[in-house]
Amino acid sequence: MAEQFIVQYEINDLAEVDGTNVPTRFTVTLQRDGGPDVVAEFVLRDGAPRCRELRVVSTADGREVRSADCARVRVPDLLEQGFAAVAMPTSRVDESGRPLPPEAPPDGQTHKQRAVLQVRSMRRQGRRTPDDAFLQEVAEVYRRNLGNNPTESVAEHFGRKHRTAALYVQQARQRGFLGAALKGKAGEQS
């Protein structure tokens, strides 16, 4: 069965992630001869691409969608192939502002191989469960910034969204690294 892999994105909507330019949104379409197409939309969120939409679509002249078509969909594979297709090395310039060629990835890898390893690492980091050392650091950052929106300071420190930082603060409280919250104020009860 022949397959065609198509990736679409806006070139003007890029973000830098670990030395790589990546579209903040990209769509991957896997067209299969004789079967339905698979369409997945990925959005860059919290520093890693996340699948926001997945469709299995019968083509106008194709057969119906079957359970087996859905069971064969592997979102991590679509993500890795799509990310490798859209990831671009960041532009570099010399002291005078002239463009330099992109740095070669380590260990003789191609940029595509590096992108696949990079997306795997980003996804693992995004799913990690905060350990005690991490939550103690959250508590320290929070306390240092009591007069200046401490939860937002935690978000900035760890490169996360505000809601994720709020979850970290809550987990630090649950583990005893921060006291109970003061009602309506930043801080903690003694």
Residues 13-26 pLDDT 10s: 888 776 678 889 99
Q: How many residues does the chain have?
A: 190
Indicate the angle between helix axes 150-158 and 132-144, nearest 10 degrees. 130
Query: Which pLDDT tens digit goes with each residue over 125-153?
Result: 655 577 888 899 999 999 999 888 899 99
Measured CA to CA, the distance from residue 187 to residue 185 in angstroms comes to 6
Token digits for 15?
């973000």
Token digits for 5?
């892999």
pLDDT above 70 for 106: no
Phi, psi of 151 (to 5 degrees): -70, -40
Put simply, whether the predicted model's pTM sits higher than 0.75 gets the answer: no
